[in-house]
A and B are shown apart, each in its own frame.
Chain A
Amino acid sequence: MRHTAAKALAAVAFTAALTTVAAVPAMADPAALPAAKDIVGVGSDTTQALFTKFSADYNATIPAGDTTTPRLYSWDATGTSPITPKAGGSTIARPNGSGAGIGALNTTTKTTLDFARSSRAAQATDPTGLDFIAFAKDAVTWSAVSGGHAPANLTTANLVDIYTCAKTNWSQFGGTAGTIQPFLPQSGSGTRSFFLQALGNITPGSCVVSGPEENEGTDPLLLTNVDAVIPYSVGHYVGQLNGHTTATDAPGNLTLRNLNGVSPLTATNTLNPAFAGGSFGRVLFNVVRDADYTAATTQGTALRNIFSNTGWICSTAGRNDISSFGFLNLPTTGCGVIIH
């Protein structure tokens, strides 16, 4: 084969590969419009991939011929917008993140949404009447591009200095000289909210850029940016290392860095429980309307069958999924606890 032909063939193959990657369908959006009776959720990016798995595995427990038992579905944080979450429901802007999902849950009824995925805890400003049901543990650390200018470790005080723009060069923290480019995930992100809270509820400085989708090192703003720093879900990162990725939902060149001298990962690349037990550890939730959750209705029964302490997510099958996607399981007696 002549060099020209070989190059052309390689180019075709490369293009085909790109096309194949680009054609990967959105990860968690339901393949078909869920029925009105189904249990449907939106919200957190951090747990959306896990919920794809939850949905598949939970629905597999319902016999194909069973047309009355509600199935479980969830919509990605990103994708085409607006969406109609289920048959007969309202058309809404696709909620991108925990806060947006909780807001959508609060402004709709069960004819549109049944739950919101949340990677942050309940806040005083959240609407009353919502139950935050705990189901797993995660942690948030900072990440930077491999081989970039950032050091291996930062302290909480360092991160405060960086995100308030009090210090702006990596050389001030033992890194290689270079102007720090601090990023935060999109507004409405639970990871963003939690990270800022863990830093003492700071207000980001003017040097901070908001916008990259959380937990996606593939964002062009981050991919080869040797001066970038951005918070990252440790559990989601572990899930990505375990192969739960898409073309965009992947770490790219970002690696997780130590915080206060503690590694977020164990030697076997799992979420370090010691890290998750500190102030950068967080609980993951599913949020439901209390009135729906406690109702003696088909929907209420289905919600409890999925989210309660004796529900499917807290079962062995659900806990196996949680581990596979990189998060830590709560104690069996703590899974399904409602936390306000």
Chain B
Amino acid sequence: MSRTFARIAAAAAGLALALTAASATTASAAPAAGNAVIHESNAFFQQAAQAGIVAVPLPTATAGYDPSTGLSASFPVTDGSGSIAEFWGSVQFGGGLLFVDARTGSAVAFHQLAFSSETYQVTGVPDGTTTPVALFAPAGETVVTRTGATQNLSAASLALDPAGAQFLDGKLRTSFFAAGQSVGSFRVSYTPAS
């Protein structure tokens, strides 16, 4: 990773930490458990950085970094219904996801992130609105396993949804995002309320 990219990564991690400290959230009483992890590929990270774009997880999501695999964002499961394996219901996540374009000075944040088991999409509600936007969808080999009540989804790739790409391009005043563009990989572990 180049020095420039390392700086951006450090800045992103710092921003995430600062936001974590600044906005303590109420502990969720939801009995559902688990998390979702978006693993940003180095390839996407570098392309985005070159375009001046950074994606930052917002509390209560957390950022992670591994030198060999790159950046990741982990979102806690807060609630859910239905079944990933049976294609109905959805899983809700805490935290948010912020996209910043350093070149245009634009930013957009999403909260109420969720994985719809009916559409197999990751959606988020842009701050200041109430309508979810389809951001990502699993791509490549996707495997769902069940161990007891826990369901795990693992997607080899996470692709930008056409609606998400269009929305991000519009909000950030860029043409960087493209439908089907892989941002990395995706995992969900979900244990429904018992």
Residues of A within 8 A of B (CB): 121, 134, 137, 277, 281-283, 308-309, 330-331, 333-334, 336-340
Q: CB distance B86 to A333 under 8 Å? A: no
Q: Among the listed stretches B34-42, B68-76, B136-144, which one makes contact with chain A, having 4 or more residues with CB under 8 Å of it? A: B136-144
**A337-B143, A337-B144, A340-B146 known; A281-B86 Cβ under 8 A:** yes
Chain A residues, Cβ within 8 Å of B167:
none
Identify which of A283, A308, A309 contacts B85 (C-beta below 8 A): A283
Q: Is B78 located at the chain interface by the 8 A CB criterion? A: no
Of B137, B143, B144, the most chain A CB neighbours within 10 A belong to B144
Could you tell me if B87 and A333 are in contact, using CB atoms closer than 8 angstroms? no
State whether A337 touches B142 (Cβ < 8 A): yes
- Give which listed residue, B85, B138, B143, contacts A333 with CB less than 8 A: B138
Partner of B144, one of A137, A281, A331, A339: A339
Known pairs A137-B87, A283-B85, A283-B86; A333 contacts B119 (CB<8 A): yes
| A338-B153 Cα distance, complex, nearest whole Å | 10
A331 to chain B, nearest CB (A): 5
The reply on B120 being an interface residue by CB < 8 A is yes
| Residues of chain B within 8 A of A309, CB atoms compared | 139-142
Closest A-chain residue to B116, C-beta based? Answer: A331
Do B144 and A340 touch across chains, with their CB atoms under 8 A apart?
Answer: yes
Q: How far is the CA of A334 from the CA of B141 in the complex (A)?
A: 10
Known pairs A309-B139, A340-B144, A340-B146; A334 contacts B87 (CB<8 A): yes
- Smallest CB separation, A328 vs chain B (Å): 9
B118 touches A121 (CB 8 A): no
Q: Are A121 and B144 in contact (CB under 8 A)?
A: no
A-B contact pairs, 30 of them (CB 8 A): A134-B87, A137-B87, A277-B82, A277-B88, A277-B118, A281-B86, A282-B86, A283-B85, A283-B86, A308-B141, A309-B139, A309-B141, A331-B120, A331-B121, A333-B119, A333-B139, A334-B87, A334-B120, A334-B138, A334-B142, A337-B138, A337-B142, A338-B141, A338-B143, A338-B144, A339-B85, A339-B143, A339-B145, A340-B144, A340-B145
B119 touches A121 (CB 8 A): no
Report the Cα distance A134→B139, complex, angstroms: 14
Give B112-135 interface residues, CB cut-off 8 Å to A. 118-121
Interface flags, B84-128, vs A, CB<8A=1, else 0: 011110000000000000000000000000000011110000000
Q: How far apart sit A330 and B140, CA to CA, in the bound complex (Å)?
A: 16
Which residues of A are found within 8 Å of B142, using beta-carbon distances? 309, 333-334, 336-338
User: Considering the chains assembled together, what is the distance between the CA atoms of A338 and B120 in angstroms?
Assistant: 13
For the complex, give the distance between the alpha carbons of A283 and B142 in Å: 16
By a CB distance below 8 angstroms, the chain A residues around B87 are: 134, 137, 283, 330-331, 334
Collect the chain B residues with CB atoms within 8 Å of residue A277's CB. Answer: 82, 88, 118
Q: Which residues of A contact B86 (CB under 8 A)?
A: 121, 281-283
A331 proximity list for chain B (CB < 8 A) = 87, 118-121
Taken together as a complex, chains A and B put the C-alpha atoms of A134 and B118 apart, in Å, by: 13
Closest 5 CB pairs of A and B: A334-B120, A333-B137, A333-B120, A339-B144, A331-B120
Write out the residue numbers on chain B whose beta carbons fall within 8 Å of the beta carbon of A339: 85, 143-146
Q: Specify the chain A residue showing the minimal Cβ separation from B147.
A: A340
Closest partner residue, chain B, to A137 (CB atom): B87
Q: Give chain B nearest CB distance to A306 CB in angstroms.
A: 15
Give the residues in chain B near A333, CB-CB below 8 Å.
119-121, 137-139, 142
- B87, B119, B145: most-surrounded residue (chain A CB, <10 A): B87
What CA separation (Å) do A137 and B137 show in the bound complex? 19
Assembly CA distance A278 to B143 (angstroms): 23
Complex CA–CA separation, A102 to B10 (angstroms): 51
Query: Considering only CB atoms, which chain A residue lies closest to B138 in the complex?
Result: A333
Give Cα A330 to B87, complex, Å.
Answer: 8
List, in ascending order, chain A residues with CB within 8 A of B88's CB: 277, 281
List of A residues within 8 angstroms of B146 by Cβ: 339-340
- Chain B hits for A330, CB < 8 A: 87, 120
Tell me, in angstroms, the Cα distance from A85 to B61 when the chains sit together.
53
How distant is the Cα of A277 from the Cα of B139 in the complex, in angstroms? 23
B41-82 vs A, Cβ < 8 Å mask (1 yes, 0 no): 000000000000000000000000000000000000000001
Given contacts A277-B118, A338-B144, 14 further A-B contacts (CB under 8 A): A121-B86, A277-B82, A277-B88, A281-B88, A309-B139, A331-B118, A333-B142, A336-B142, A337-B142, A337-B144, A338-B141, A338-B142, A339-B144, A340-B146
